[in-house]
Amino acid sequence: MCHTDVHVWQDGFSLGEGKHFRYSERPGFTLPVIMGHETSGTVYSFGGDADQGDVKVGDNVVVYPWVGCENCQACATGNANYCKGPLKYIGPVVDGGYSEYVIVPHPRYLVKVPEGVPMDVAAVLACGGLTAYNGVTLVRPIVEKLSKFRERCTLLIVGPGGLGLWGVKLAKHVLPQGTRIVCADVDAAKLKIAKDNGCDETILWDRGADVATTVAATRAVCTDGVDAAIDFVNSSKTFANIQGCLEKCGIHAVVGLFGGGGTIPLPTFALQQKQVVGVHVGGLHQFRELLALVADKQIPAPPLEHHPLEKTWDVLQALQAGKVEGRAVFHMNKT
């Protein structure tokens, strides 16, 4: 289960300044919809006219759910995350994986699960892992460049939850050796889990503190400054906190959909050559890269909670309340 499911349930999120993104207003979105966009399972059958590709009945596969219009060049080259739509995302837009069976429109969206990767881990890679991988690989060129001029570089990860913990683990394998990984959150328990999963330092942000106080506390830990930041929360406050910590030529990747707006002092932003970039899932080729990396390096998943599918509603409410540690995974009851 992903926090996107909470947004679908609540019909969107705040854009700041009184504006709101609503799924119900998106082309192709209709209710009711079966959610669930992180899905692994066994191929059951093919439609009569289906091209089976390199998969067959009985194969263990994970679904790449980010299906676009299927008619543009982006979709044809496995880059549906660049498609302008209408989007046919499996789970958020069309019926998804919280069901005994799920329909996938083409076998190219089925990726065989590599040997050594458990099925539950494969499932959570389809969104949480892929989005984190896209974020880490997106900031990598800047970190590689700055590491030539600085004694060491620091990556700040804000929000070490289901996605952020993947960010920690993948950064250890993707970024230059010696890059320091620091996690920030308002929840001490999540920071302990982040530390247990490989981050080098943690910072407990005070919910009630102003930006100047939070920035000072962060700089006290990140003594060399923050060269790259990935914000898996992405609220008005986390945006301001990161902007206050970011060093010259640094990159700020925004991932989360908590909501709100942010401001940037434009002259100094240009003079200091900073960047802000948006991150949303990743392409099919990146998904295959990620699965291969996890299999090759035997990267363990962040903490996973397992639940029967019948508990979906209860877990959805727990996730909305911030009570899920890591990622919740659902399974079918065997009869």
Summarize pLDDT for 113-159 with one digit per residue, the tens: 999 999 999 999 999 999 999 999 999 999 999 999 988 899 999 99
Across the chain, what does the average pLDDT equal? Answer: 92
Q: What is the pLDDT of residue 12?
A: 83
Over pLDDT 90: what percentage of the chain? 76
Is residue 130 within 8 Å of 109, Cβ to Cβ? Answer: no
Q: For residue 278, which of 248, 237, 245, 234 has the smallest C-alpha distance? A: 234
Question: Which pLDDT belongs to residue 14?
Answer: 80
Whole-number pLDDT of residue 334: 54
Q: What amino acid occupies position 138?
A: L
CA–CA dist 293, 295 (Å, integer): 5
Half-sphere exposure of 308 toward its Cβ, with a 13 Å CA cutoff?
4
* Local confidence band at 335 (pLDDT 50, 70, 90 cut-offs): very low
pLDDT of the residue at 139: 98
100-110 pLDDT, tens digit per residue, is 999 999 999 99
Nearest residue to 331 via CA among 307, 312, 311: 307
CA 110 to chain centre: 19
Angle value at C-alpha 8, between 5 and 11, nearest 5 degrees? 150
* pLDDT at residue 214 is higher than 80: yes
Q: How confident is the model at residue 324 (pLDDT cuts 50, 70, 90)?
A: confident
- Calculate the CA 188 to chain-centre distance: 21
User: In this structure, are residues 292 and 133 in contact, taking their beta carbons and an 8 Å threshold?
Assistant: no
3-state secondary structure of 74: helix
pLDDT tens digits, one per residue of 175-192: 999 999 999 999 999 999
Q: Which two tokens stand for residue 185?
A: 């959150």
Name which residue leads in pLDDT, 41 or 4.
Answer: 41
What is this structure's pTM?
0.92
Alpha-carbon separation of residue 250 from 61, 134, 225, 236, 243 (angstroms) = 38, 17, 9, 19, 10
Pairing of strands 180-185, 154-158: parallel
pLDDT of residue 17: 79
Whose CA is closest to 129, among 117, 141, 140? 117
Residue 142: count other Cβ atoms within 10 Å of its Cβ: 18
Give residue 49's Cα distance to chain centre: 34
pLDDT confidence of residue 4: 86
